[in-house]
């Protein structure tokens, strides 16, 4: 009986709540409405030309740089020698490759480059001091393009950059370096 009385009171309360009509919740005329947007329709025969505004280059030179499959490996950069000098310098500064010296008259960069990956870790574990290997990056003009070559710097240049006078354990990774420069120029360099 007590349960029946509780159910009766609750049902009367619910009925009372539902039967009261409050116009405040039913009238939506005063609510904020979204703005009406004017849509521009392009005519069906309109030609859209996006070549008027040049697109900004995000990074990389793509087809302007070619890796030649020779021994030793070389790059061909489809730019004049002065443009290529600036581009290569910018690319090296944007990467973790350190420029130690430059010779603008000979279009040469002396850079410090260390081996990458597992081989570097093994050599670092064997040597207490990690010897920096100095490479010579040379730009040579050829038929309006620029050829980029990498060679190991001579022993005197190796000694001048390292504090250790016994530079006997220099490993030549010129091909690895030229491939790194190729990927850097093709994919990552930001020229603007």
Contact 61, 128 (CB under 8 A): no
**Per-residue confidence (pLDDT) for residue 129, from 0 to 100:** 47
**Per-residue confidence (pLDDT) for residue 4, from 0 to 100:** 84
**Per-residue confidence (pLDDT) for residue 109, from 0 to 100:** 93
* Domains of the chain (ranges, CATH numbers): 62-188 (3.30.310.170)
Question: pLDDT tens digits for 121-152?
Answer: 555 555 544 557 889 999 999 999 999 999 98
**Exposed / middle / buried, residue 23 (Cβ in 10 Å: 0-12, 13-18, 19+):** exposed
With a cut of 80, say whether residue 164 has pLDDT above it.
Answer: no
With a cut of 80, say whether residue 153 has pLDDT above it.
Answer: yes
Q: How far apart are CA 71 and CA 68, in angstroms?
A: 9
Contacts with 190 (C-beta within 8 Å, 6 or more apart), sequence order = 57, 58, 59, 90, 94
Mean pLDDT score of the chain: 77
Contact 191, 94 (CB under 8 A): no
Q: How far apart are CA 134 and CA 100, in angstroms?
A: 8
> Which percentage of the chain shows pLDDT scores above 70?
67
Question: pLDDT tens digits for 26-61?
Answer: 777 777 887 877 776 666 666 555 555 444 455 677
Place of tokens 């009406």: 36
Question: pLDDT tens digits for 55-106?
Answer: 445 567 788 898 888 888 899 999 999 999 999 998 888 887 889 999 999 9
Contact 185, 191 (CB under 8 A): no
**Per-residue confidence (pLDDT) for residue 46, from 0 to 100:** 62
């Amino acid at each position: 009986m007590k349960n029946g009385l509780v159910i009766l009171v609750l049902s009367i309360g619910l009925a009372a709540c539902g039967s009261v009509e409050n116009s405040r919740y039913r009238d939506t005329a005063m609510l904020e409405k979204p703005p009406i947007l004017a849509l521009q329709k392009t005519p069906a025969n309109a030609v859209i030309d996006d070549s008027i505004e040049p697109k900004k280059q995000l990074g990389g030179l793509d087809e302007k740089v070619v890796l030649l499959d020779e021994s030793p490996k070389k790059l061909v950069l489809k730019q004049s020698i002065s443009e290529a000098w600036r581009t290569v310098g910018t690319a090296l500064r944007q990467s973790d490759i350190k420029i130690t010296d430059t010779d603008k008259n000979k279009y040469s960069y002396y850079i410090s480059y260390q081996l990458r990956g597992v081989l570097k870790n093994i050599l670092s574990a064997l040597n207490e001091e990690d010897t920096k290997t100095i490479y010579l990056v040379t730009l040579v003009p050829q038929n309006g393009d620029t050829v980029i070559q990498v060679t190991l710097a001579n022993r005197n240049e190796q000694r001048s950059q390292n504090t250790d006078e016994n530079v006997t354990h220099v490993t030549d990774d010129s091909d690895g370096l030229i491939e790194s420069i190729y990927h850097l120029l093709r994919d990552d360099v930001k020229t603007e």
